[in-house]
Structure 1
Amino acid sequence: MFKTVASATGRLGRMTTLSTIIFDCADPAALAAFYAKATGWRLGQGDADYATVEGGPVTLAFQRVDGYGGGPGWPGGDKHLHLDFQVPDVGVARGELVALGASVPDFQPGEDEWTVFTDPEGHPFCVSAA
């Protein structure tokens, strides 16, 4: 469903590859299951404290943090990370993502090409047309 780019030539001329994006969260297994379905990638290792989603250009990892309460998400919330995805049809993706448990917050950037979503724990992510 998503198109991603994870590698670029670094400032020192070496290939720099982003290998893992890690989310602090309350329920790693549930959040990993959401992103596995949303991306079409596969669930990797997982237990009550740590879970991964693999099969894309980067690994998505979710680690349990005691006392993590989520929060309202972007903007101004306690989440300082978000993912951008490109899809063939934002309208179709919106329906699929909401059915998986994503929400569309009132806050939107005012740019027609981006739609802000939040995952089931409130982490923001953006979707635009490829």
Structure 2
Amino acid sequence: MPTVARLFAVTVDCPDPLSLANFYREFLGGELRSSNPDFVVLTTDGSVRLDFQRVDNHRPPEWPDSGAPRRLHLDFVVGDLEQVAQLLVGLGATRASHQPGSGRFLVMLDPAGHPLCLSTECN
């Protein structure tokens, strides 16, 4: 099947786009672009950028909540789970109280409450 589209961005809804974009910039590196009070773009050396969009009635997803609809979350491959978790805590993230996966990955919550998963492998 021929390619008809290419993913170029993932947009994250949040109450404070600049603050959350800075959190991810500190974690991933990169550069903030197209910044205004309602929308911030983070470009990194990857092929997909992260966009942060203000949503005034934002409510962080409950983790885990089987009664709530599942939402998008981001997965990252890292070298050392605990070392990166401590970095993220220093940047304002928290470790999720529920940790599924028997230690294969670690669930963190970014400053806006979105879950993000850290893993040492991508398969």
TM-score of Structure 1 vs Structure 2, range by shorter chain: 0.7 to 0.9
Query: 1:99-114 counterparts in 2 under 5 A?
Result: 99-114=90-105
| Equivalent residues of 1:27, 1:64 under 8 A apart | yes
The TM-score with structure 1 as length reference comes to 0.82
Q: Which residue of 1 aligns with 2:50?
A: 60
| Equivalent residues of 1:73, 1:118 under 8 A apart | no
- Of 18-27 and 70-79, the range deviating more from structure 2: 70-79
Distance between the aligned counterparts of 2:4 and 2:84, measured in 1?
32
Q: Which residue of 1 aligns with 2:9?
A: 20
Q: Which residue of 2 aligns with 1:123?
A: 114
Distance between the aligned counterparts of 1:13 and 1:65, measured in 2?
36
Q: Which runs of 5+ in 2 are unaligned?
A: none
Q: Which runs of 5+ in 1 are unaligned?
A: 1-11
| Equivalent residues of 1:102, 1:118 under 8 A apart | yes
Q: Give the count of matched residue pairs.
A: 118
The TM-score with structure 2 as length reference comes to 0.86
Q: Output one character per residue of 1:70-122: Cα deviation in whole Å (capped at 9) or x when no partner.
A: 33533225771100000111121011111001110111113211100010010
Q: Output one character per residue of 1:45-82: Cα deviation in whole Å (capped at 9) or x when no partner.
A: 211100111022211001111222x3353322577110
Task: Give the deviation of 1:42 after TM superposition.
Answer: 1.6
Task: Give the deviation of 1:13 after TM superposition.
Answer: 3.1
Moved over 6 A (4+): none
CA RMSD of superposed structures (Å): 1.8
